Each structure stands twice: as C-alpha cells, then as structure tokens.
C-alpha cells in the first residue's frame, strides 16, 4: 500500500490525533495491505468518531449544558404538537366506553393531562428564570440577531389565527355534508399551521437562548426545570400508550377510521403519529436534560 492512500484515509482524523497516532495507524494500514472495503469504511468511521469527540471535548461544560437545555425545549415543542392531536383523538372517548368499564383509560388520560400541566409549568418556570438574561440581551443590542426569527413566528401566529377563524366560520355556516368535509379540512389545515407556529417560536427561542449570558447558578436551576419537563414527557408517553391500549381493548371501534365498519384496525395514522411524537420527545428530552444536569454541575 502506497503512502498516498494511507495519508488520504488519515485526513478523516483530526490533525491533533494524526500528530499523535498517525504514524501508528499508517503502519497498521500498510501491514493490512491490501485494505478491504470494510477496513476502509471502519477507518473512516473511526476518523469521524474522533472528530465528534474532539468537538465535544473542545466545548466548555457551560456550552454543553446550554445545548442540552435547548434539546429539552425542542422536546417540549414535540409535545405541543402531540398534545392537541391526542386531545382531538380522545374527544368524547368516555361516552364510547361500555358501562362499568373505562377506569383504566380514564386514569391514563388523566395522567397525561396532569403531567402535561406539570411539564408545562416546568417549561414556564425555566423561561421565567431566563427572563432577566433575555432583558440584558435586548438591552445590549441583541434584538438585531433575533429579529428575523421572532418576526417569522409572529407572522405564522397571525396567519394561523386568521386561517383558523375563517375555517371555523365556514364550517359552522355550511350544510351537514359540507360541514363534514370542512371539518376534516379544518383539522388538517389547523394542524399544519399549529406545527408551523410551534416550530417558528421554538426557533426564535433557540436563537435567543444561544446568545444569552447564562450564569452557572442559572444553568443549574434550568437543569432542574429540564429534568422535571423531560420526566413529565416520559410519563405522558407511557400513559398515552396505556390509554391507547385500553381503548383498543374496551372500545376498539372508537379508534377506527371508519367506526361504522367494525373490524378495522385500531392503529390509525393520527394515533400512531401522536405516540411517535411523544416517544421522540421523551428520548430527546431525557438526553438533553441528562446532559444539562451533568454539565451544569461541573
């Protein structure tokens, strides 16, 4: 094996790593001549992994904690999308339950609502704690850096509110058949607009968060709020899955896309998407909260 292919593979590794271990890896590649495609792939992956480790090591603990807290904010944005979807899916579910049943499904749904409130209060607490830092950022001229994402969020909010109001008016002034069609259209449009609004405000909050001056004490306080919020998402995801499973057993027709035709699947797209969002939010939230808690204590 010539030195040129070996040097080309070594470029996947950080320069500091090459200065320390490059000669050893080059000798190893020459001993393995000719290198198989699998060996080349493993060397490239090893280089990428070292670059990721270098980026992580080069960032101070405070910055890693800041990133972890931002992940929790993103996780809660997923909950803000999944929550209304679950509420729409569960609308009137108690009337669909057979007599003398439903205690488990009612309890599971109550847990979802309760921990949604707990997690929401934790997020609001974290935002309130960061309020003074946001004020300092704005006084120092930080508005110029976050002006565009905030404006996008405001435009998305106004457009979403106007579209929702218009669709509701059209639905209520239409006949029964047209109202049914408009009801489906309303849900689809409002869902898309709500996702856009949540995404825009999350991006605006993230833009401000990355530029705010955060003291070690504030990071530790924010990490506590993050742990509560992430734990709430985990409980919500489990409770929503329990509600789904119990409803599938006690009133399967309620979850079917066509209740008038019994025997359909209880795994409809809305229920599946809602649970996927909650599980994804739980994974991202726990990962971010754990990182923030570990780094904030350093």
DSSP for 219-239 reads: HHHHHHHHHHHHHHHHHHHHH
Under the banding of pLDDT at 50, 70 and 90, the label for residue 235 is: very high
Pick from 71, 195, 208: which is nearest to 134 by CA?
208
List Cβ neighbours of 278 (8 Å cut-off, separation of 6 or more): 78, 79, 82, 86, 233, 236, 237, 240
> Domain for residue 272, yes or no?
yes
Gap between the Cα atoms of 209 and 77, Å rounded:
15
User: Looking at the structure, do residues 220 and 290 belong to the same domain, yes or no?
Assistant: yes
Instruction: Specify the number of domains making up the chain.
Output: 2
- Whether 21 shows a pLDDT value over 80: the answer reads yes
Gap between the Cα atoms of 65 and 134, Å rounded:
17
Q: What is the pLDDT of residue 56?
A: 66
As given in the structure block, the two tokens for residue 263 are: 């025997």
Q: At what angle do helices 15-31 and 37-58 cross, to 10 degrees?
A: 160
User: Looking at the structure, do residues 236 and 291 belong to the same domain, yes or no?
Assistant: yes
> Domain for residue 112, yes or no?
yes
pLDDT tens per residue across span 76-128: 999 999 998 899 888 888 888 887 766 888 999 999 999 999 999 999 999 99
Q: What is the DSSP letter of 213?
A: -
User: Looking at the structure, do residues 104 and 221 belong to the same domain, yes or no?
Assistant: yes
> Domain for residue 183, yes or no?
no
Q: What is the pLDDT of residue 97?
A: 83
What's the predicted TM-score (pTM) here?
0.76
Q: What is the pLDDT of residue 2?
A: 45
Pick from 71, 25, 57, 92: which is nearest to 290 by CA?
71
Domain assignment of residue 48, given as a range: 3-56
Task: With beta carbons less than 8 A apart as the criterion, state whether 29 and 43 touch.
Answer: yes
Gap between the Cα atoms of 145 and 209, Å rounded:
11
- Give Cα 144 to chain centroid, integer Å: 27
What SS3 class is residue 243? helix
Task: With beta carbons less than 8 A apart as the criterion, state whether 41 and 13 touch.
Answer: no
- Cα dihedral sign, 89-95-98-104: positive
- Among candidate residues 56, 74, 93, the one where a domain is terminated: 56
> Domain for residue 16, yes or no?
yes
User: Looking at the structure, do residues 280 and 223 belong to the same domain, yes or no?
Assistant: yes
User: Looking at the structure, do residues 26 and 69 belong to the same domain, yes or no?
Assistant: no
> Domain for residue 249, yes or no?
yes
List Cβ neighbours of 170 (8 Å cut-off, separation of 6 or more): 182
pLDDT tens per residue across span 31-78: 887 888 888 888 889 888 888 777 666 668 888 899 899 999 999 999
User: Looking at the structure, do residues 51 and 81 belong to the same domain, yes or no?
Assistant: no
Under the banding of pLDDT at 50, 70 and 90, the label for residue 168 is: low
């Amino acid at each position: 094996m010539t030195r040129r292919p070996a040097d080309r593979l070594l470029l996947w590794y950080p320069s500091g790593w090459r200065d320390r271990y490059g000669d050893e890896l080059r000798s190893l590649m020459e001993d393995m001549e000719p290198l198989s495609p699998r060996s080349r792939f493993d060397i490239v992956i090893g280089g990428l992994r070292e670059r990721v480790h270098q980026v992580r090591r080069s960032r101070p603990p405070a910055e890693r904690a800041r990133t972890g807290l931002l992940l929790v904010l993103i996780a809660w944005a997923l909950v803000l999308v999944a929550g209304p979807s679950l509420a729409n899916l569960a609308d009137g579910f108690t009337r669909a339950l057979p007599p003398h049943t439903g205690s488990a499904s009612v309890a599971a749904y109550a847990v979802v609502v309760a921990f949604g409130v707990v997690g929401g209060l934790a997020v609001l607490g974290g935002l309130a704690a960061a309020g003074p830092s946001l004020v300092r950022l704005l006084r120092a001229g930080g508005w110029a850096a976050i002006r565009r994402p905030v404006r996008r969020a405001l435009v998305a909010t106004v457009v979403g509110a106007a579209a929702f109001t218009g669709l509701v008016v059209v639905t209520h002034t239409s006949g029964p058949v047209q109202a049914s069609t408009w009801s489906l259209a309303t849900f689809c449009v409002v869902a898309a607009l709500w996702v856009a609004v949540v995404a825009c405000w999350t991006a605006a909050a993230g833009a401000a968060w990355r530029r705010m001056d955060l003291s070690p004490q504030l990071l530790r306080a924010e990490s506590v709020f993050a742990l509560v919020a992430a734990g709430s998402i985990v409980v919500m995801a489990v409770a929503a899955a329990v509600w789904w499973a119990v409803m599938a057993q006690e009133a399967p027709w309620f979850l079917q896309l066509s209740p008038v035709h019994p025997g359909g699947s209880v795994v409809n797209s809305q229920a599946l998407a809602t649970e996927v969002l909650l599980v994804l939010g739980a994974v991202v939230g726990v990962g971010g909260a754990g990182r923030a808690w570990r780094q904030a204590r350093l």
